[in-house]
Amino acid sequence: MVDLALSTDNSSANLLMPEDAGAHEWYSFVLSYPPHLVRHYLTRFGIDGSNRVLDPFCGIGTTVVESKKNGIPSVGIEANPMAWFASTVKTDWRPEPGALLADASSIAATVTEALRAEGLEDVPLLFPNSTPPLRTLPAESDRLLLKNSISPLPLHKALTLLDAIDNTSVPEHRAHYRLAFAKALVDSASNLSFGPEVGVSAVKPDAPIVGPWLRGVRRMADDLDDLGSCDMTPTEVHLADSRHASEVLEPNSIDAVITSPPYPNEKDYTRTTRLESVLLGFIRNRADLQEVKRGLLRSNTRGVYKGDDDDQWVKAFPEILRIAHAIEDRRKELGKTSGFERLYARVTMLYFGGMARHLTELRRALKPGARLAYVVGDQASYLRIMIRTGELLASIAESVGYEVTGIDLFRTRLATATRQQLREEVVVLRWPG
């Protein structure tokens, strides 16, 4: 296997280029990969409008959006409902731009007037006057949020705007407005910070949302002026579990796969989208949250449940067993006894078992000669035991019938805990059929 560097400029390898921003920037988060990486593999695999591309870990839609921009039919699978929603909206280019913006302007004016009637403004106030009763979330929903994710006054404004979107907007515009709301909520109204872990920065007593939301809709309208002519390219995104891909994919229907599954680490990917997921109603209580997590690849200890059995798929892989044993031995050596730390070895087995299950399940949907690119990263999150994710994934793929045609170096990144340079790679496969 040969490493083929995609970029000599490591600092820019994962950045969104200004010329690529259309639709991609409607909603984003720090863990996504860039459109130019998708284009690289579309070109390398010789994919055109006669083919069909799959992203089985679709996230916020980078692969399906970029495929549609290039006139290539695509399909996505995503188990996180907020990310699934973002992907569906970012590939829906049907709204007429002028009407989309006009309807939004009317909503913004109505909400701004309602806030003024309450003695509020959609600008940060030096001394917020919260004399009117403020809207709040139900207690069971509020408990799902990171503490201080959003201050009371910005939350009141956000709920006022969301109510107007859901009750007064033109139905065919509503999904786009809700996505623009999610972006404004996180970027402008919240106290959240990303780096890449989600956390709470300085708490803001007040923040705008109506203005940022309207600017987001205006950006959508501007992009739709350019993208509307490409809307005939078919795209679909399924809210489903990638480990059961054959339940939503037709047999022998996929020519190429370009994707980035979660990495084996302690990032709870539902936390990255928690605020907007709760406010938009995708997750209302702990039962909803558990249901979402059960449909995700097991990549962190907060998503492990009794009865999980994906680890059975990799019990014959000596290197994965060695890593799991090394993590458990290190845990005991360090005297780590928390419930999460006790799960480090198990979640590692569940992660690679889930990927084995996914790759096995996927075979039925692939055409003979299908090409695949999986963006993955080395990890040392579990007590600094190195996990060479790309090498292990390649070994698993080979064991279930895929040909490994290369492991390309995408970029390196600095590990927070160890200060090591970790490789982020693209495992390139071929399905012989």
Q: Which pLDDT score is estimated for 125?
A: 67
Residues in CB range of 262: below 8 A, 6 or more apart = 57, 269, 296, 297, 299, 300, 351
Q: Which pLDDT score is estimated for 127?
A: 62
Q: Which pLDDT score is estimated for 231?
A: 76
Nearest to 69 by CA among 41, 55, 83, 90: 90
Q: Which pLDDT score is estimated for 29?
A: 82
Q: What is the largest CA-CA distance in the chain?
A: 68
Q: Which pLDDT score is estimated for 267?
A: 86
Token code pair at residue 148: 């201080």
Euclidean distance between CA atoms 298 and 189, whole angstroms:
31
Domain residue spans of the chain: 10-75+238-265+300-431, 97-229
Output the tens digit of pLDDT for each of the chain's 433 residues: 334 444 434 545 666 667 888 899 999 987 678 999 999 999 999 999 999 999 999 999 999 999 999 999 999 999 999 999 999 999 999 999 999 999 999 999 999 999 999 888 888 766 666 667 899 999 999 999 999 999 999 999 999 999 999 998 899 999 999 999 999 999 999 999 987 678 898 899 999 999 999 999 999 999 999 897 777 899 999 999 999 999 999 999 999 999 999 999 888 989 999 999 999 999 999 999 999 999 999 999 999 999 999 999 999 999 999 999 999 999 999 999 999 999 999 999 999 999 999 999 999 999 999 999 999 999 988 999 999 999 999 999 999 999 999 999 998 877 665 667 889 999 999 999 8
The single-letter DSSP state of residue 17 is P
Q: Is 6 exposed, middle or buried, given 0-12, 13-18 or 19+ CB atoms closer than 10 A?
A: middle
Tell whether domain 10-75+238-265+300-431 is in CATH 3.40.50.150: yes
Q: Which pLDDT score is estimated for 195?
A: 74
Sign of the torsion angle spanned by Cα atoms 93, 94, 98, 101: negative
